Chains A and B, each alone.
Chain A
């Protein structure tokens, strides 16, 4: 019995990791419509801004929900972002950026019925035009929901390690 639980856990870990690699590939391959299809209708996609705080004041490092955020999105606004890309006028992404999403340190933090809360670390590298480069590093808290043999993303909270971004824009996705 214990062994069976362990096997199920291993299988879930494998499925979750494969899913995260798959959606990273979709973004890097610029298959944005396919990626959008993995976002749940009740999506919460949020990347709060951060500030440098003294030791003892760490609780105020990240902006809270409802405060300043780099992304403060839902399914509808993410759909707008995808539509924007294909208008022929999306200058920040024309020519398109080259991205590489690396996902690691995947942990299953909680399972509640069909819902799986996971944590992971990421590095997102962007190369743009001849030699513009960006590197964003941080951790994510994702909420996945089972969808047949696969998952959908119901929540993505992205916590950057940066305070002031050294990037001219965030015209890419995490």
Chain B
């Protein structure tokens, strides 16, 4: 289907041999195209609805490198607009969060309301002769804003399909988390940055079950009970093929899910109580009720962990740098002490000091550095684990999936989707020409 179309970027991904060209992680021109074709096109995660409780509540975020204000307006509707005054381009809001009646540019005083519409222009009558049309000079709106189960997403592309279509079967994965309870974001976001290309973090999220037993071995050996705080300490010899499954979906989303192992998971802590709730089990269904935790990627850059209940957004800051934004979610209906246990477990697990995550930063930093050599770039990276063995199962239990836990099929799938986005001139073309999981990956 794609063969008759020019494939500028598909040539960086060797599907048949499971290879990825290192250049895509460091090249400035490729990154410039990503800014248009990925970050100005995809639905991107913005915030959790609970961060915007009442009218005038706002958060400052980024869509790619574009600073964006997400705000609940005076009519209680959530909107998003670029945080850049239309006069000289300054940020009209320099706080990370808060509550406002309006956004005032510090440079000349142009004033925008909570919808981003221009209301006040000093000297409008005398200096502009009343000729400036304020309706034309509001803050640039994010073309579409929509929510899925409390997660607010936005896209700059008016041609993007509805959010539900974009997420597709990934909703079944996200529901692994959101069917567990009723979630609110814990106040304040953990932010840190590193010399890493954003795609290395994304490919880790979508399906790197290989690294855990090695990268994070020291934490497990030290007795750390994982991000959900409920794991018994048993040091695995290596990653395992069985004991879970892998899902990939259209548009580059996917996840890996491991099943509950009673020898590892402590089902008797209050933090495991939700697993015994028949209502939760009914919502999840038979297959998902067996899942311990899933590492998920909403393409391009949102990592969701259903076990320790975090959202980790990885925003690019150029090809060689990214910033992580970590938000913890807790079940509003859980007892306060259980919420506290969960937050503590998450704080100790993820984040720059996290017992697990502290070892990720330098690994991804090294992967990025390893892509810079002009000679190294002649030698592709190997994403071939399980290639040809990823039989896609389609049945009534869930969406298309591969019935092994550890493979690199999902990672390679993400890079295939990346190339689809990069080669497609626009959303209508992408909707018409993109892969769905079938056959054997």
Which of A's residues lie within 8 Å of B, judged by CB? Answer: 47-54, 57, 60, 63-64, 66-73, 77, 80-81, 83-85, 87-92, 163-171
- Segment at the A interface, from B3-11, B74-82, B276-284, B344-352: B344-352
The answer to whether A169 and B188 touch (CB under 8 A), given A70-B353, A80-B355, is no
Contacts of A80 in B (CB 8 A): 219, 222-224, 355
**Contact of B187 with A68 in the complex, beta carbons under 8 Å:** yes
Q: A53-B95, A92-B359, A167-B352 are in contact. Are A68 and B222 (CB under 8 A)?
A: no
- Closest A residue by C-beta to B361: A168
**Alpha-carbon distance between A71 and B94 when the two chains are bound, in angstroms:** 26
Question: Given the complex, which residues of B lie within 8 Å of A163, measured CB to CB?
Answer: 96, 191
Query: Are B359 and A72 neighbours in the complex by a CB distance under 8 Å?
Result: no
Q: How far is the CA of A89 from the CA of B223 in the complex (A)?
A: 14
Chain B residues within an 8 Å CB radius of A68: 186-190, 326-328, 343, 347, 351
Report the nearest A residue to B194, measured CB to CB: A168
Give B195's nearest chain A residue, CB to CB: A168
If A66-B340, A77-B348, A168-B196 touch, whether A92 touches B221 (CB-CB below 8 Å) is no
Question: What residues of B have a CB within 8 angstroms of the CB of A164 in the complex?
Answer: 191-193, 323
- Contact B326 A169, beta carbon cutoff 8 Å: no
Contact A169 B97 (CB under 8 A): no
In the assembled complex, the CB of A158 is this many whole angstroms from the nearest CB of chain B, namely 11
Minimum distance in angstroms from A46 CB to a CB of chain B: 9
**Assembled-state Cα–Cα distance A69/B187 (Å):** 10
Interface pairs A-B: 6 shortest CB-CB: A168-B361, A168-B194, A72-B347, A170-B353, A164-B191, A63-B188
- Establish whether residues B218 and A91, one from each chain, have CB atoms under 8 Å apart when the complex forms: yes
Q: Closest B-chain residue to A74, C-beta based?
A: B344
- Asked if B362 is an interface residue, CB under 8 A from chain A, the answer is yes
Docked-complex contact A91 and B348, CB < 8 angstroms: no
Question: Contact at A67–B219, with CB atoms within 8 Å?
Answer: no
| Min CB gap B312→A, angstroms | 12
Complex-state Cα separation, A166 to B224, whole angstroms: 26
Among B255-297, those with CB < 8 Å from A are none
Q: Report B157-199 CB contacts with A as 1/0, cut-off 8 Å.
A: 0000000000000000000000000000011111111111000
A54 near B355 (CB under 8 angstroms)?
no
Is B66 part of the contact surface with A, judged by Cβ < 8 Å? no
Evaluate contact between A168 and B365: CB separation under 8 angstroms.
yes
Contact B348 A72 (CB under 8 A): yes
Assess A171 versus B358: contact at CB under 8 Å? Given A49-B188, A64-B187, A67-B186: yes
Contact of B193 with A165 in the complex, beta carbons under 8 Å: yes
Q: Does B382 contact A (CB under 8 A)?
A: no
Are B192 and A89 in contact, CB atoms less than 8 angstroms apart? no
- The residues of B that contact A50 with a CB separation of less than 8 Å are 188
Asked if B217 is at the interface of the complex by the 8 Å CB criterion, the answer is yes
In the bound complex, do residue A168 and residue B192 qualify as a contact, i.e. CB atoms below 8 Å apart?
A: yes
Give every chain B residue within 8 A of A84 (Cβ-Cβ). 218-219, 221-222, 224, 355
Residues of A within 8 A of B362 (CB): 91-92, 168-169
A66 to chain B, nearest CB (A): 5
Q: Is B215 an interface residue (CB 8 A)?
A: yes
